[in-house]
Amino acid sequence: MPLDPAIESGDRSHTLAPVESVAQISTLLLDTDPTLDPALARTARQAAAEGVVLLRNDGTLPLEGHRVAVFGRVQIDWFAVGYGSGGDVKVPYIWNLLAGLRDAGIQVDGELADRYASWAATHRPTFTATWGQWPHHFPEMPISAGDVAAAALRADTAVVAIGRAAGEARESVLEPGSYYLTADERALLDAVTDAFAHTVVVLDAGNVMDLSWLADYDRRIGAVLYAWQGGMEGARAVAGVLAGELAPSGKLTDTIARRYTDYPSAPNFGHPDANEYVEDVFVGYRYFETFAPERVLFPFGYGLGYTTFAVTVVDQEKDAASLRLTVEVTNTGSRAGKEVVQVYAGGPDGALGKPARALVAFAKTALLQPGERERLELTVRRDHLASYDDGGATGHRSCWVLEPGEYPVFVGTDVRSAAQVAAFHVADLHVVRRLTEVAAPVVPFERLTLGREVDGSAVIAREPVPTATALRRDRITAGLPREITPTGDRGIGLDAVGSGAASLDEFIAQLSDDELALLARGDVTMHSPLGAPGNAGVLGGVSESLRAKGVPPITTTDGPSGLRLSAYASLLPSGTALASTWNTDLVRELAALHGEEMLRKGSDVLLSPGMNIHRDPLCGRNFEYFSEDPVVTGSIAAAVVGGVQSVGVSACPKHFAANNQETNRTRNDSRVSERALREIYLRGFEICIREAKPKTLMTSYNQINGVWAHYHHDLVTTVLRDEWGYEGVVITDWWMEDAVDPDFPALRDNAYRVRAQVDVLMPGGVKTEAGPQSYADDTILESLAADDGLTRGELQRTAGNVLRLALALKPVVAARTLEG
């Protein structure tokens, strides 16, 4: 969502004043946030550390015992998070790298550190007040080769910190200072690697950036650490890893290619009007491992540690439905560490071209001491290897199918190194699940598929994408709900429903059309007086009459990296940092502590996790999201939702669906095949919905094959509710686009939305060309009175969804009211 105009100042100065020591934090918190839970800060640091990915190490790391010179102004002005609603948290403190290294006991060259600190203090970063125009990087401090050489006489190892940021409405761009290094950064690396025998590069960034320059330095750069933006404790976590206090165990959740043009999405990203998802199901490593392994610099799932491991499959149990693997991991090195076991599967070519490998399971060990071993149990379900036939190539259109042939299973510690350990044999084509066509393209285009050379090597082929054939009007008409006969007010309160003294239908029967319409929108604006100051919006009991009937106002807040309120709140590791831990238990623990902070701060619904796919490395909000892979995305999202909701509040996964760029995001059309939609862009949401059952879900701004997500009956009703069994509330992203239902002209805007079962417009007001306005429209009530318009049953259905959420959250709201 955009920031409220009242707070779109672009001033992030509160995120740029670092702490110098652990002792200073206690003093800071007395003045800012005495409610901050030390356990939350400790767990956030652990998560940030486990999310750090060690890409290269020739023995230079860890730094213990070394005298270290630290270069790069980002050591002071650390990027702790990306921009926009996913990062704009009023944080009580932020560690920077210099302070973190000192805290970790590293012998930092004081003369150089003082020079950077003094220069940074007089050259503060400039944040424009213009929305979406924040800096991708900060200019470097001028430093001569002679100064670098002098530092090399005082220290034996150099650390060079390079920083990048992007965010909401702020894509990364193919320019120096964003995706590419600047001339000053190259000059700094040249000087440092010439003067020092040992150089470490720390990348402080939320998005993948170009790393092709590493080849130019070869062994002159001994270690590379990708430090995904880790929140308030992130730089201290990175310092702990550099020092050897914390063991690196992060793994890449994206492929890092040699060049941007190697990514299959590159020719079809960033268009302001529409992007054709030509790469289809061959996203990220699915493309590279199938067609272009030589174009990979660092493969998906890759990450080093300070020790070594032996990974052995010690037992297999297979039947027709599943394969259970027992994998023993032994620490064969001299330091403690953790390892991630990854399981991939392939499949026969068949009529549906398939990626060479696709992740199907993963697990992470505990911290293993040298010589210690642990056994992990991983299960592969055969049905999860199915492909979706969106064009009838197998004779079974709109079905998940297993084509006949061999489905090899690979085990390893990244996608490239995984070795085959087993296989499923499918003798005859098997239909796993019969569905119906949904959200198919209406504009024809060609998609990538798998072909073979004479020698059997994979080659890119093209085929027309199957286009829509389903009749939407008939589907909707057949699914219209019955109307609950209105009774007028009978004095039944929502508490009576909660206690079992009355049914929800009896409560809904009392509601007037006006009250039903009120339940279908929020309290018009952000910063609702009904919620905690600085809230994103309030839904539910937005009128006196609804509150009199016991419907509580439900407060929503951003977001993925922390609570965006007027009060101070914790700044947590970014989505990519969390996913790079591959540690669902740790993420769930952190999310539960975050849920406890929601209780303390007055938030009922956390607008998190962000879980769109990293289709392209330039997407500005990739830092909020998890991975190019849907299994990682769904598993980490389920951990977040499960943790948050374990304490009684609600998480709200977003943005449903195919929100993969920020450029013209409210108008852009994601043109994607139904197969890719189901296998890649919806799959993570499905995992999260089935495993964690979030109470709320947010739609995206963009169109999916010509229909805005907040009007998308195919996605929200047919897939989300009917196929996946989702029973929670669906809300819009903040404000929405005007449109008329093409099949039911009497429905427009909010009425059109309600028919799709997108329950609540947030924050509730009308969006005009002049900007969001503080009033609500009457399209719902107008449609109720029109021929072929919205039915009262549909509006009652939406009310039921919102009221079930209110019942689930009512104890939390009541407790907060009593405390207040």
CA distance 18 to 627: 29
Specify the pLDDT at position 812.
86
3-state secondary structure 306-358: CCCEEEEEEEEEECCCEEEEEEEEEECCCCCECCEEEEEECCCCCCCCCCCCE
Is the pLDDT reported for residue 11 higher than 70? no
Tens-digit pLDDT profile for residues 461-479: 999 999 999 999 999 999 9
Is the pLDDT reported for residue 22 higher than 80? no
Task: Say if residue 786 is preceded by a cis peptide, omega within 30 of 0.
Answer: no
Give the three-class secondary structure for 17.
Answer: coil
Percent of the chain with pLDDT over 90: 90
The answer to whether the predicted template modeling score (pTM) of the entire model surpasses 0.75 is yes
Asked if 136 contacts 97 with a C-beta cutoff of 8 angstroms, the reply is no
CA distance 531 to 554: 7
pLDDT-derived band at 657, boundaries 50, 70, 90: very high
The mean per-residue pLDDT over the stretch 745-767 comes to 95
CA distance 537 to 154: 55
Is the pLDDT reported for residue 492 higher than 60? yes
The mean per-residue pLDDT over the stretch 105-132 comes to 91
How big is the CA angle at 183 (ends 180 and 185), to the nearest 5 degrees? 75
Specify the pLDDT at position 2.
60
Task: Name which of 223-227, 466-470, 811-815 the model is least confident about.
Answer: 811-815
Is the pLDDT reported for residue 16 higher than 60? no
Sole residue written with tokens 């303390």 = 600
Question: To the nearest whole number, what is the mean pLDDT of the chain?
Answer: 94
Sign of CA dihedral 289, 291, 292, 293: positive
pLDDT-derived band at 497, boundaries 50, 70, 90: very high
Tens-digit pLDDT profile for residues 39-93: 999 999 999 999 999 999 999 999 999 999 999 999 999 999 999 988 889 999 9
Task: Name which of 493-497, 557-561, 604-608 the model is least confident about.
Answer: 557-561
Specify the pLDDT at position 9.
36
CA distance 462 to 448: 5
Specify the pLDDT at position 229.
96
Q: In 305-316, which positions are buried (b, 16+ CB within 10 angstroms) versus exposed (e)?
A: bbbebebebeee
What are 746's two structure tokens? 């009497």
CA distance 504 to 507: 5
Task: Name which of 13-27, 164-178, 382-396, 637-651 the model is least confident about.
Answer: 13-27
703-704: strand order across its sheet: 274-276, 669-671, 703-704, 707-708
Specify the pLDDT at position 767.
77
Is the pLDDT reported for residue 1 higher than 80? no
pLDDT-derived band at 10, boundaries 50, 70, 90: very low
Specify the pLDDT at position 116.
98
Is the pLDDT reported for residue 128 higher than 80? no
Specify the pLDDT at position 810.
87
Specify the pLDDT at position 460.
97
CA distance 795 to 780: 9
How big is the CA angle at 28 (ends 23 and 31), to the nearest 5 degrees? 145
Asked if 100 contacts 113 with a C-beta cutoff of 8 angstroms, the reply is no
What are 514's two structure tokens? 């006006």
Specify the pLDDT at position 3.
52
Walk me through the domains of the chain, giving residue ranges and CATH numbers.
5-250 (3.40.50.1700), 285-468 (2.60.40.10), 473-819 (3.20.20.300)
Specify the pLDDT at position 14.
39
Is the pLDDT reported for residue 7 higher than 90? no
Q: In 747-785, which positions are buried (b, 16+ CB within 10 angstroms) versus exposed (e)?
A: bbbbbbbbbbbbbbbbbbbbbeeeebeeebbebbbbbbe
Specify the pLDDT at position 817.
63
Q: Residue 521: what are its φ and ψ, rounded to 5°?
A: -150, 160
Specify the pLDDT at position 714.
98
Tens-digit pLDDT profile for residues 587-599: 999 999 999 999 9
Percent of the chain with pLDDT over 70: 97
pLDDT-derived band at 34, boundaries 50, 70, 90: confident
Is the pLDDT reported for residue 129 higher than 80? no
The mean per-residue pLDDT over the stretch 810-814 comes to 83
Give the three-class secondary structure for 185.
Answer: helix
What are 287's two structure tokens? 């493309």
The mean per-residue pLDDT over the stretch 377-395 comes to 97
What are 579's two structure tokens? 């996913």
Longest dimension (CA), the chain: 86
What are 339's two structure tokens? 């390892």
Helical (H) or strand (E) element with 243: helix 234-243
State the catalytic residue, choosing from 210, 558, 733, 759: 733
CA-to-CA dists, residue 24 to 17, 124, 349, 771, angstroms: 12, 22, 60, 43
Is the pLDDT reported for residue 27 higher than 80? no
Tens-digit pLDDT profile for residues 693-727: 999 999 999 999 999 999 999 999 999 999 999 99
CA distance 185 to 176: 9
CA-closest candidate to residue 778, choices 547, 546, 514, 525: 514
Helical (H) or strand (E) element with 149: helix 145-154
Give the three-class secondary structure for 649.
Answer: coil
Tens-digit pLDDT profile for residues 131-176: 778 999 999 999 999 999 999 999 999 999 999 999 999 999 999 9
Specify the pLDDT at position 775.
78
CA distance 538 to 551: 12
Residue 741 falls in the annotated catalytic set: no
Asked if 590 contacts 641 with a C-beta cutoff of 8 angstroms, the reply is no
End-to-end CA distance of the chain: 29
CA distance 770 to 607: 26
Sole residue written with tokens 């056994």 = 375
CA distance 673 to 141: 48
DSSP state of 14: G
CA-closest candidate to residue 594, choices 654, 535, 651, 655: 651
CA distance 64 to 102: 12
